[in-house]
Amino acid sequence: MDFRPGEVILAPLAGYTHSPFRKLLRRLGADRTWTELVSADMILRKGLSDPLLRFTPEERPLVIQLFGNDPEKIYRAGELVAQELKPDGLDLNLGCSVRKVASRGAGAGLLRDLARLSACAEALVSAGKAHGIPVSAKIRLGWDRDILGKIAERLLAAGVSAIVLHPRLAVEGFSGRARWERIRDLVTLFGREIPVIGNGDVLTWRDIGRLFQETGCHAVMVGRAALKNPWIFEEYHKKQPLPKDVTARAAFALELLEEMGVFFRPETAGKKIKAFLAQLFKGIPGKRTFLPDLLTAPDYRSLTSRLKKLRS
């Protein structure tokens, strides 16, 4: 995959990294964006009209992530997406451990069935190949034990063009710590054959540099930290912290709300942005004086005016 060495990528975060958010984050220095996981079955049932699959050119390079557990369905959904939407990459989700996904043998559920994992990866790779679109896989270390080497061998044999590693077990969820040393091990083992993208527990822009340095990974992917600090990419590129006071945060939220109002309809945007606002203002001194007011705003218009007051 044509990941430039040193890229810093916005991770898929279901419910947060929709098209408007990706667009603003590209402007704020994310080198590449990723959709949240989209069900191959859903695509085959409903077609490509779901907002999860919509994107604008400004979000490119953009990777569309699929999940599923039936190789044939993954192939057909992948083909349709590749042909009609022409993303810059397709990605197979092998890391999602939420019950709804994993208990059906999809996402991280595939880490328990390596034969099926191979078949699903091969299916998506051949769907991508037919349209010149590279295919990556986003993995964890294993389901309940670390079988990283085996997973990586399978993926390489299937022909994937890059591996994103969040180095925790699926059963760990987000507990414990991301074991960056396993990213380094993957680079040592396979880094000459395939770009390895390191992910997990980057909290500040300095951590991005540390992850590159400590593991030798090809690119870094940042998830949760981008919700609390959307400027983290720019800070890393400029190697300095940027102003992130309440005013700056309110200005960002307003811009996002406006974009979301156009993309989703104002009524939906006003509701959907609240989970993000809780993240954006988490740990900010004085948030008790204004956050409840934002989170209880009854509609788009009142939320807009409350954010404007906060910005000024």
Ligand X SMILES: Cc1cc2nc3c(=O)[nH]c(=O)nc-3n(C[C@H](O)[C@H](O)[C@H](O)COP(=O)(O)O)c2cc1C
Taking the C-alpha atoms of residue 230 and residue 281, their distance in angstroms, rounded to an integer, is: 11
Binds ligand X by CB under 6 A, chosen from 11, 127, 160, 186? 11
Q: At 66, which helix (H) or strand (E)?
A: strand 62-67
Residue type, 172: E
Taking the C-alpha atoms of residue 131 and residue 234, their distance in angstroms, rounded to an integer, is: 33
Least distance from C-beta 202 to ligand X, angstroms? 5
Single out the segment in contact with ligand X by CB under 6 A; choices: 24-32, 181-189, 197-205, 206-214: 197-205
The number of angstroms, rounded, from the C-alpha of 179 to the middle of its chain's C-alpha atoms is 19
229 closest CA partner among 209, 249, 213, 212: 249
Task: Say if residues 182 and 147 touch (Cβ distance below 8 Å).
Answer: no
Nearest residue (CB) to ligand X, 13 versus 280: 13
Task: Say if residues 52 and 77 touch (Cβ distance below 8 Å).
Answer: no
Q: How many C-beta atoms surround the C-beta of residue 31 within 10 A? A: 17
Would residue 96 show up in a list of annotated catalytic residues for this protein? yes
Give me the helices (H) in 146-290, please.
Answer: 148-158, 180-190, 205-215, 225-228, 232-238, 246-264, 266-280
Tell me: does residue 261 bind ligand X (CB under 6 A). Answer: no
Single out the segment in contact with ligand X by CB under 6 A; choices: 7-15, 71-79, 146-154, 185-193: 7-15
- From the candidates 90, 96, 117, 220, give the one annotated as an active-site residue: 96
What one-character-per-residue DSSP string does 35-60 give?
Answer: PPPEEHHHHHHHTT-SGGG---GGG-
Task: Say if residues 247 and 222 touch (Cβ distance below 8 Å).
Answer: no
Nearest residue (CB) to ligand X, 95 versus 128: 95
Single out the segment in contact with ligand X by CB under 6 A; choices: 18-26, 122-130, 200-208, 276-284: 200-208
Nearest residue (CB) to ligand X, 162 versus 310: 162
Binds ligand X by CB under 6 A, chosen from 138, 154, 179, 249? 138
Site for ligand X in 218-247 (CB under 6 A): 222-225
Tell me: does residue 166 bind ligand X (CB under 6 A). Answer: yes
Least distance from C-beta 40 to ligand X, angstroms? 14
Binds ligand X by CB under 6 A, chosen from 59, 201, 235, 259? 201
Nearest residue (CB) to ligand X, 96 versus 310: 96
What binding mask, one character per residue, do residues 87-106 give for ligand X by CB under 6 A, x or -? ------x-xx----------
Beta bridge partners of 9: 32, 221
Residue 66 contacts by C-beta under 8 Å, 6 or more apart in sequence?
Answer: 37, 38, 39, 40, 43, 74, 77, 78, 81, 90, 91, 92, 93, 124
Binds ligand X by CB under 6 A, chosen from 68, 128, 134, 200? 200
Nearest residue (CB) to ligand X, 230 versus 306: 230
Tell me: does residue 33 bind ligand X (CB under 6 A). Answer: no
Nearest residue (CB) to ligand X, 152 versus 310: 152
Catalytic sites, residue numbers: 96
Binding site for ligand X (CB under 6 A): 11-15, 36-37, 65, 93, 95-96, 138, 166, 199-202, 222-225
